[in-house]
Amino acid sequence: TMGNWLVNHWFSAAVLAAWLGINIFLFTYYFLFFDRDERYFYTRAILGSALAWARASAKCLNFNSMLILLPVCRNLLSFLRGTCSCCRRTLRKQLDHNLTFHKLVAYTLALLTAVHTIAHLFNLERYNQSQQATDGSLPAVLSEMHLHGSNKWLNPIHSNQTVSMPSASSNPPPPLPYSPNPPPLPLQTVEYVAFTTIPGLTGVIITLALILMVTSSTEFIRRNYFELFWYTHHLFLVYFAGLVIHGIAGLVRGQTEQSMAEVHPHDCAEYLTQRDQNCTHNCCKDPEFGSIPAESWKWVLAPIILYVFERILRVWRAQQKVVVTKVVMHPARVLELQMQKKGFCMEVGQYIFVNCPAISSLEWHPFTLTSAPEEDFFSIHIRVAGDWTERLIDTFQLEIPRIEVDGPFGTASEDVFQYEVAMLVGAGIGVTPFASILKSIWYKFQQADQTLKTKKIYFYWLCRDTGAFAWFNDLLASLEQKMAESGKADFLTYRLFLTGWDNSIANNVALHFDTATDTVTGLKHKTIFGRPMWNMEFAAVAAAHPRSVVGVFLCGPEALAKSLQKSCHQHSSLDPRKVKFYFNKENF
């Protein structure tokens, strides 16, 4: 029901509605402004409604360009997460949708760019047609205004040719003996203007940069060719440089305020096509036009400054020395790095960006921390997921190269101890943030921490092959033992799901069905073959904790996220006497 959906999404819906509302307001307001304002009467006489389409989309482009950098300012988000530590969970949860919002704004920019480009192509064509017209119509007369003074031109295309030809009344110079028949000069076509003016050239560059960034950001490319995504995304520098320069030429013009007072188009427009040289009417004076000032820089200046500080902070932190204290190669080519860095302070579930200059000085890759805050080191687990990770693992098998680290940065998993009941769901290597959480719980039990708000944790791990379980088994076995000793054996319920198996595994399980420990993992809890029935799992948790607020945390693929979100909606209620499930997903 809608009530169930609102439990998880009311604040996100409010933010989305505000963003959409501002876009609609900006587009509608400026569309009507340029479609009706008298200052652009003569401009509309040439361009028609395409003027309003171009200008309205430009305003929305500026607004969304202002927003696009903010969701990827990692230090800003970490600062906000820290300052919101006492805020309602709905406010903190919104920060976890930073990349979703970033993508939404990016797709909106692509759509607005298409509208803006198409509108200006129509504008250029109409400018060109008006310049070529000889019928004495208002567009034709306005296109000749550049002949009457430097501040009177309205049509940026001043000639049908790239270089003005001498007038018939002037005396042309005699042809040179070596060039009796000079070739005709090329026409000043729409394509020519598009590639030789500042707005045209920067517009083409901006559009190409945006197309490359959007197309290289698909899930497939990010997962399999991360380097391509990483390098292409730095075209944002070209995008913003082009955006700031785009409007400085002021090719789109309107009538000046002073000229409006002297020769208002409402009174004088009809006389422009009818007056003669001996005109004595009040409207005999030519209208004067001025450029619309460039303003994109005003919209994006603050975010750009903020992002520059963000990058400076990243560079400064990257220069701080990192000591690799331990390297462990786990089964299934999973590399564990244990490191130390002066002043490094982390929370559970956070992530860092790692750079290895020996491989590439420009590439930074995100990895979730698998260590607990209570440990005197921080660690990550790396599996092969592209060229960079494969080269890193190969390099560490030969020597220990220099490593640079930026972070840590906050994620949804930081809030796990804010809930009475938590459901942790990891798929494959997606178990890494929960390693940090489970280790921290182990330390909290060891230290008899009385401030622990969480009373129950359900842990679900989905894996395709048994090798992936290996490096995590020791931690789970240690937790089983520690909680049994502390008299809190019921605190953690974990369920391991093997989603891929062969006949030999199945036969082995059947043969040792009666053993006390699992034949796959060696743990007390038996491995389940297949995928979880999430409705049954959620129903069981809801029945066990009827009035609790349950935090559902996922680090895994989008398909699994949709299933869990659906289950959260189905089993949540606005009734304070019933259970509520809050969905949280790792995004980086």
Residues 376 and 326 in one domain: yes
Name the pLDDT band for 66 (thresholds 50, 70, 90): very high
Q: Are residues 532 and 551 in the same domain?
A: yes
3-state secondary structure of 345: coil
Over pLDDT 70: what percentage of the chain? 81
Q: How far apart are the C-alpha atoms of 152 and 294, rounded to whole Å?
A: 19
Residue 173 resides in a domain: no
Residue 287 resides in a domain: yes
pLDDT of residue 83: 66
Number of domains the chain contains:
3
CA distances from 437 to 432, 476, 492 (A): 9, 12, 12
**Between these two residues, 548 and 576, which has the higher pLDDT value?**
548
The per-residue pLDDT for 523 is 56
List, for residues 568-585, the tens digit of each pLDDT value.
888 887 777 778 888 888
The CATH number of residue 548's host domain is: 3.40.50.80
Q: Which of 249, 268, 302 is the last residue in one of the domains? A: 302
Q: With bands split at pLDDT 50, 70 and 90, how would you rate the model's confidence at 308? A: very high
Residue 224, helix vs strand vs coil: helix
- Strands (DSSP E) along 314-364, which ranges? 322-330, 334-341, 351-355
For residue 181, tell me if it sits in a domain: no
Q: Are residues 405 and 422 in the same domain?
A: no
pLDDT above 70 for 514: no
Instruction: Express each pLDDT in 406-439 by its tens digit.
Output: 888 877 777 788 888 999 998 877 777 788 888 8
Same domain, 202 and 157: yes
Q: What is the pLDDT of residue 470?
A: 64
Give the strand order in the sheet containing 492-498: 528-529, 492-498, 456-463, 421-427, 549-555, 580-585
Question: What pLDDT, on the 0 to 100 scale, is given for residue 172?
Answer: 47
Same domain for 264 and 400? Answer: no
Last residue of a domain, one of 242, 276, 302: 302
Please state the rounded mean pLDDT for residues 1-20: 74
Give the β-pairing of 528-529 and 492-498.
parallel
Distance CA 328, CA 326 (A): 7
The answer on 433 and 381 residing in a single domain is no
Domain boundaries, position 10 = 2-163+186-302
Q: What gap in Å lies between CA 364 and CA 157, rounded to an integer?
A: 47
Angle subtended at Cα 358 by Cα 355 and Cα 361, rounded to the nearest 5 degrees: 50
What's the pLDDT at 314? 86
Examine residue 171 and state whether it is found in any structural domain, yes or no: no
Residue 119, pLDDT above cutoff 60: yes
Range scoring the smallest mean pLDDT among 155-164, 393-402, 435-444, 565-574: 155-164
Same domain for 442 and 336: no
Residue 383's domain is classified under what CATH number? 2.40.30.10
Give per-residue burial for 333-352: e unless 16+ CB within 10 Å, then b: ebbbbbbebeebebbbbbbb
Average confidence score pLDDT of the chain: 80
Residue 507 lies in a domain: no
Which of 302, 335, 355 is the endpoint of a domain?
Answer: 302
- Domain membership of residue 175 (yes or no) is no
80 and 194 share one domain: yes
Same domain assignment for residues 243 and 362? no
Question: What's residue 7's pLDDT?
Answer: 58
- Confirm if 153 and 146 have CB atoms less than 8 A apart: yes
Q: Which residues pair with 529 in a beta bridge?
A: 498
Out of 176-185, 268-277, 341-350, 528-537, least confident range: 176-185
209 in any annotated domain: yes
- Does the reported pTM lie above 0.85? no
Tell me, yes or no, whether 83 lies in a domain: yes
User: Using H for helix, E for strand and C for coil, what is the string for 442-491?
Assistant: HHHHHCCCCCCCCCEEEEEEEECCHHHHHHHHHHHHHHHHHHHHCCCCCC
Q: Check whether residue 99 and residue 243 sit in a common domain.
A: yes
Band (159; pLDDT cuts 50, 70, 90): low
**pLDDT class for 525, splitting at 50, 70, 90?**
low
* Between residues 463 and 175, the one the model is more confident about: 463
Structure tokens that stand for 68 in this block? 């696009």
Q: What's the pLDDT tens digit per position in 208-225?
A: 999 999 999 988 888 778
Which segment of 110-114, 165-169, 257-261 scores lowest on mean pLDDT?
A: 165-169
Same domain, 125 and 157: yes
Please write the tens of the pLDDT for every residue from 221-236: 887 787 788 889 999 9
248 and 393 belong to one structural domain? no
